[in-house]
Amino acid sequence: MTVEALRQFRALVETGGFRAAAERVHRSQPAVSHQLKSLERELGHVLLDRKTCKPTPAGSRLYEHACRLLTDVESI
């Protein structure tokens, strides 16, 4: 898991869509989608409902942790 993967996941949750998240993090939509699949594989959980772009329970927990971590990282 990388800081970039967490940034992309946070953008997905906050924007509610792959295209908007990709624009926010300056990546292509397929790259954001691939990053999410990789993160889900690594963690062994589905993190986002693809139809609604809403986080699953596991995704909600990751989002909370990611926000705290990214706040700390971005303040350095």
Note the pLDDT tens digit of each residue in 31-60: 999 999 999 999 999 999 988 889 999 999
Burial class for 70, CB neighbours closer than 10 Å (0-12, 13-18, 19+) = middle
pLDDT at 75 > cutoff 90: no
User: In angstroms, rounded to a whole number, what is the distance separating the alpha carbons of residues 46 and 67?
Assistant: 18
Structure tokens at 41: 């594989």
What are 53-70's pLDDT values in tens digits? 899 999 999 999 999 999
Q: Of all residues in the chain, what percent carry a pLDDT higher than 90?
A: 88
Is residue 36 a contact partner of residue 12, using CB atoms and an 8 Å limit? yes
pLDDT at 74 > cutoff 90: no
- Computed over every residue of the chain, the mean pLDDT equals 95
